[in-house]
Structure 1
Amino acid sequence: MKRRIAFISEHASPLAVLGGVDSGGQNVYVAEICKSLAALGYIIDIFTRKDAAVLTEVVSWLPGIRVIHMDAGPAKEVPKEALLGYMDEFTRSMITFIKKQQFDYELVHANFFMSGLVASEIKRRLGIPYVITFHALGKIRMIHQKEKDAFPAARLDIEQMLVNDADYIIAECPQDKQDLIGHYNADPSRITIIPCGFSSEEFYPASKAKARQRLGLKKDEVVLLQLGRIVPRKGIDNVIRAMRYLKDIPKVRLLVVGGSDDKPDFSRDTELRRLKEVAEQEGVAAAVEFVGRRNRQQLRHYYQAADFFISTPWYEPFGITPLEAMACGTPVIGSDVGGIKYTVLHGETGFLVPPHDPRNLADAVLEGVSCPEKYRKLCQNALKRVNENFTWSYVAQKAHRLYSRVAGKRVVTPLYLLQLKRSKRKPVAEPVFSIPAFAVS
């Protein structure tokens, strides 16, 4: 018998176009782990917010996977920092849908703290256990973002409640687990480390020369790649500033891939405009190319064409892009923070450097290109590491074992299903919780 589970990912739909401010690693995580779980025989519904009027309630996305769009605020894009007040409506919509469908989920997998808030109420009302992947923690974010953090202060109280309430917490790396224990006093016995992964169907090694030819890049250039969301915490300005220490390399080019548009719009995107100004101030504008957004199929060619993938954020809960680069045989230079220091082995699959340190970053690049034999070893080790430890099938197997353990503890049939069997009538959705006033201040 196939097992039916629900994912909640309120702001990160697997159907979203990647590259925007709120579209990134979580979207990939939800999409890819669900694909691999479906291959194991799961039937999965992914509940996400309806952010466009044209979206239908139910989208049969892939075999065994549906995407369910929940009413939660206006049917348009809303920054995730402004979504908390709509989670009451999201919860009502989801409970109504579950009751209307007249079936039960073994378990809910919540993604992000707002999805956890919904899952917690569903557990209380319908008796369905839940696990949660936070993807980012408010207390850690505030340490780095400080007054620039736009999430409501209630996020911290909600996360603390979820840490105590969830049946199990999925940490994405050892640092994530340490932060949960140290900052939220989480019970270590209810935390398991399950990393993110990469898709071997999308990302794999290929001829660097052919990839460069496809992208119009020269064979003899040293190509550095920065790819991901264009937001300040990603530290892209740090990579640009490092370029002025690399002027002794005859031909060096930095490609900055990402953004909301296929063609960079500096007049509309304030962060892109700031980064362009940084390049001009540092005197490296001629060596920095802002590429714009690219789809998943195109990204592979950029990873394959690059000599190094560079990612130096201030903090990073995990970071999927380093895995994708290594899967293409490209070593990574990354910040010695969060998930990057877990996935990248210093001196073996790439280099780890402090954030906010362009000189140290430049030195890592110079070390990497100074010895062809060492560089080949970095490429080989990167490819080996991701294929042994970070495939989505590996991730799904670990999630499957956790789900079985959590669902196996559930022995009570939810009251609404018992009532449904007795009455043989469709249940009427009852009102659910209202988010307390402190949560939307």
Structure 2
Amino acid sequence: MTTREPLLRIALISEHASPLAKPGGVDAGGQNVYVAQVACALAALGHHVDVYTRCDSIRLSACAFLRSRVRVMHVDAGPACFVPKEQLLSHMPAFARGMRNAMEHAGRYDIVHANFFMSGWVGMALQRACALPLAVTFHALGLVRQQHQGSADGFPQARIGIERRLVHRAQRVIAECPQEREDLLRLYGADAARISTVPCGVDLAQFGPRNRVAARRRLGLPQDEFIVLQLGRLVPRKGVEHVVRAMALLDARMPARLLVVGGESRQPDDARTPELGRLRAIAQQCGAAQRVVFVGQRDRQELADYYAAADVFATTPAYEPFGITPLEAMACGTPVVGSAVGGIQHTVVDGVTGFLVPPADPAALAERFARLHANAALGEAMGRAGMARVRSLFTWDQVAQGLVKAYREAIASSCEQHAGARPQLQRTARTLSLGAVA
């Protein structure tokens, strides 16, 4: 008879990316989906999960249930309104104090899992003050971001130092793909023995194969066009402009349309989503305006129809820590053409589930689109291969099981580190500042 391991009480920290936010906005993307799905998948295994996120609206209650055994705790830290994540670091001491106060009523956790470097700072403060084991998922690494964005990177330089401390202080660092693991080792000097590689996942109950003809009919799309889909946050680093330029390079006789889904509002609004205006100007300049349709923001329950209606999904960032949208497209049986960077080169198998192309290469994109248009059977075969790959490797249940294994390793490591020291750590002063975990 095997002994069942105890269920865990888990605190997920996601300071700027609430699991309750609608996707597609400037600061609402893959991390929001990740945190929501991880929390629900962990709860489905029987664990109790509290997600701590910043209160960014006076209309939010202090606590909301996402599902059974998953609470979303809204922490007062800075003004109760939207603040760009690049400007949130100074509010993290208040977040840490608010979270610790909430913990006095919520009870003690077995593990803290921080998401993003600022949540990691909060996690280190709690690790020090409460002797709590800490796991961290970065979702993006500052040094990698700086390599690609240079002066356009709006985060404070302090980010790099915080990430370096996290890499060496967290009991477990969660890499989302092999490329991120390599970056942690090469750029941050991480200890390979403390890195767990656990990918993102896809909700197969929400994203799965469906009839393309019916999906197009529901969306009011023509049946005879070759449809390219780009879906996600509309910010320059996502590289949507390269897909726009690729549309202009297609044969003028080819009936093709690009759908761009995302933004801050359901009706496309250049004022609320500045990237829309920039993309419109690029489309006009390169002669693709008649082939590009800006759809606006859509709820998650609507997205499967867009994936199913498309002949191909395009994702062309300059860098991407992982990328959940390619998995969602693959789960719906749609081939993916993506940049050969980060997690995309792990999820998309070139020539099997789609194509990998160099970043910022519209000509390569256009060539792959034309190839799929000319060979419908190839696209269908890639769609079937993508569905099989997702089901075998990238379900949220598999992700949750991988995280629980990493959590238990972190807890065991923390027990070894703090043997006999916990009473002293619990008496640590409650004054928290940005220098407190330096």
User: Do structure 1's residue 22 and structure 2's residue 2 form an aligned pair?
Assistant: no
CA distance in 2, matches of 1:417, 1:36: 32
- Cα 1:30–1:268 change in 2 (3 A) is closer
CA distance in 2, matches of 1:227, 1:418: 46
CA distance in 1, matches of 2:311, 2:49: 39
Paired residue for 2:423, among 401, 415, 423? 415
Please name the residue that 1:51 is paired with: 56
The residue type equivalent to 2:16 in the other structure is: H
Q: TM-score, normalised by structure 1?
A: 0.94
CA distance in 2, matches of 1:186, 1:35: 30
CA shift digits 1:98-155 (9 cap, x unpaired): 1233x21100000000000011110111011010000000000011110010000110
Paired residue for 1:38, among 43, 67, 71? 43
Q: CA deviation at 1:430?
A: 5.3
Please name the residue that 1:435 is paired with: 434
CA distance in 1, matches of 2:26, 2:80: 18
Paired residue for 1:145, among 146, 149, 154? 149
Secondary structure in 1 matching 2:360? coil
The residue type equivalent to 1:432 in the other structure is: T
Cα RMSD after superposing both structures: 1.8
Please name the residue that 1:406 is paired with: 410
CA distance in 1, matches of 2:14, 2:436: 23
CA distance in 2, matches of 1:265, 1:351: 32
- Cα 1:160–1:409 change in 2 (3 A) is closer
Paired residue for 2:299, among 295, 299, 316? 295
Q: CA deviation at 1:366?
A: 1.4
CA distance in 2, matches of 1:194, 1:188: 14
Q: CA deviation at 1:219?
A: 1.1
CA distance in 2, matches of 1:68, 1:268: 28
Secondary structure in 2 matching 1:276? helix
More displaced stretch, 154-163 vs 240-249: 240-249
Paired residue for 1:272, among 273, 276, 281? 276
Paired residue for 1:355, among 359, 380, 384? 359
- Cα 1:372–1:268 change in 2 (3 A) is closer
2:266–2:298: 8 Å Cα contact kept in structure 1? Answer: yes
CA distance in 1, matches of 2:426, 2:389: 49
Secondary structure in 1 matching 2:382? helix
CA distance in 2, matches of 1:209, 1:418: 61
1:154–1:438: 8 Å Cα contact kept in structure 2? Answer: no
CA shift digits 1:63-101 (9 cap, x unpaired): 000000111111111000000000000011111111233
Q: CA deviation at 1:271?
A: 1.1
- Cα 1:415–1:84 change in 2 (3 A) is same
Please name the residue that 2:192 is paired with: 188
2:228–2:311: 8 Å Cα contact kept in structure 1? Answer: yes
Return 5+ residue gaps in structure 2 as ranges: 1-5
- Cα 1:403–1:252 change in 2 (3 A) is same
CA distance in 1, matches of 2:413, 2:258: 52
CA distance in 1, matches of 2:150, 2:176: 23
CA distance in 1, matches of 2:36, 2:424: 30
Q: CA deviation at 1:416?
A: 8.8
More displaced stretch, 226-235 vs 365-374: 365-374
User: Do structure 1's residue 93 and structure 2's residue 98 form an aligned pair?
Assistant: yes
CA distance in 1, matches of 2:116, 2:94: 17
Paired residue for 2:13, among 8, 20, 25? 8
The residue type equivalent to 1:95 in the other structure is: R
Q: CA deviation at 1:373?
A: 2.6
CA shift digits 1:303-326 (9 cap, x unpaired): 000000000011101000000000
The residue type equivalent to 1:17 in the other structure is: K
Matches within 5 A, 1:12-411: 12-101=17-106, 103-411=107-415
CA distance in 1, matches of 2:180, 2:414: 27
1:225–1:310: 8 Å Cα contact kept in structure 2? Answer: yes
The residue type equivalent to 1:355 in the other structure is: P
Q: CA deviation at 1:248?
A: 4.0
Q: CA deviation at 1:244?
A: 1.4
1:196–1:392: 8 Å Cα contact kept in structure 2? Answer: yes
CA shift digits 1:12-61 (9 cap, x unpaired): 01011111100000000000011111011100100000111121111122
CA distance in 1, matches of 2:272, 2:36: 29
CA distance in 1, matches of 2:264, 2:73: 24
Secondary structure in 1 matching 2:102? helix
Q: CA deviation at 1:249?
A: 4.7
- Cα 1:438–1:117 change in 2 (3 A) is closer
CA distance in 2, matches of 1:354, 1:53: 44
1:173–1:194: 8 Å Cα contact kept in structure 2? Answer: yes
